[in-house]
Amino acid sequence: MKVLRVLLALAAASVLGLAHAQYPTKPIKIVVANPPGGQTDVATRIIAQEMSTILKQPIIIENKPGANANLGTEWVKTQPADGYTLIVTAINNFGSNPALLKEMPFDPLRDFRMIVHTISSTNVLVVGPDSRFRTLQDLIKEAKANPGKLTFGTAGAGSSMYLFIELLKSMTKIELLHVPYQGSAKANIDVMGGQIDMQFDSMPGASSLIKDGRLRALAVGAEKRFPTLPDVPTMQEAGASNDILVPTYFALLAPAGTPPAIVARLNEEMKKAVADQHVTERLGGAGLLPVGSSPEQMAASVKSDLPRFQTLVKSIGIKPE
């Protein structure tokens, strides 16, 4: 009887291993927990095209925005851990959200399997094309003369864009009025139209609008000038502190319990996708830099983010809600 149980277990493992080796055998869904047109959506669609070719299966992108990306992320947590429902997350899901919220609907390290840190980017402070502000110092001077009159848009109070602006306010001693939107793309429309004064947007969401003259960039939140916008100064060059840096990343994850063999396959193929020359060129044009990492490196990065964001939130004076 004992021998039979062992043989059955070995047979089941063999079948399971074969299924994993054949993965994928059907279309894969990647959830973007943000609205269409934003940084996460743009990046995911660029990479998904190459991933589909490599894996020889269609990749379906489904946008599930809400609750600063928590809604879609929580939904993916509940899906079968079979490698066919994945999520691309940005740093706000696992970095700023836990620091800003007293209660989270998921635990990043317990409820998900990290697959790969795909790309990184930065944020850029933008105003409308007809804005009277030509430099960051113009904006700061006006804000000090009229406290609380100038408006800024964000993708929500828990977004990295929001923290950038709050940090800028704290360090320059200015007051601005927050106008939240359901995604940075909608905020950019109002910046372009002059309904709000500014936004600290992601490079992917803003770069093409800047190049087309529909937005004007005042400064980038990076240590060095960004390759795609060489004429735009860094925050430090523009006269603000170089501490206004909140790195932006994008990562691919699966529900907890996803088999290691599937995670390894996805990690290997995703790194190939972001290293492809055509993909790299398209990412670069959108203000994105390919990275690639092991699942373990990604997990370590997520683990280190929370205390860093907690310190940032505390320094700004924001109380978790």
> What string of pLDDT tens digits covers the 321 residues of the chain?
555 554 444 444 444 444 456 899 999 999 999 888 777 888 899 999 999 999 999 999 999 998 888 999 999 999 999 999 999 988 778 888 888 888 899 998 899 999 998 888 888 999 999 999 999 999 999 999 999 999 999 987 767 788 888 888 988 899 999 999 987 889 999 999 999 999 988 887 788 899 999 999 999 888 888 888 889 999 889 988 656 665 677 899 999 999 999 999 999 999 999 899 998 888 887 778 888 889 999 899 888 878 878 887 887 777 777
CATH classification of the domain holding 189: 3.40.190.10
In a domain, 254, yes or no: yes
Query: Is there a single domain that holds both residue 65 and residue 199?
Result: no
Regarding whether 163 and 132 lie in a shared domain, the answer is yes
Classify residue 146: in a domain, yes or no: yes
Distances (CA, A) of 264 to 26, 83, 117, 260: 18, 11, 13, 6
Tell whether 87 and 151 lie within a shared domain.
no
251 and 195 co-located in one domain: no
Q: Of 202, 220, 238, which residue is a domain's last?
A: 220
How far is the first Cα of the chain from the last one, in angstroms, to the nearest whole number?
A: 57
Are residues 183 and 252 located together in one domain of the fold? no
Q: What CATH number is given to the structural domain containing 291?
A: 3.40.190.150
Distances (CA, A) of 168 to 99, 134, 180: 18, 17, 17
Instruction: Specify if 228 maps to a domain.
Output: no
Indicate if 62 and 83 belong to the same structural domain. yes
Q: How many domains does the chain have?
A: 2
Alpha-carbon dihedral angle through residues 223, 226, 231, 237, given to the nearest 10 degrees? -10
* 33 occurs within a structural domain: yes
pTM, two decimal places: 0.74
80, 155: one domain:
no
Of the candidates 316, 321, 312, 317, the one whose C-alpha atom is nearest the C-alpha of residue 96 is: 312
Range of the domain at 201: 123-220
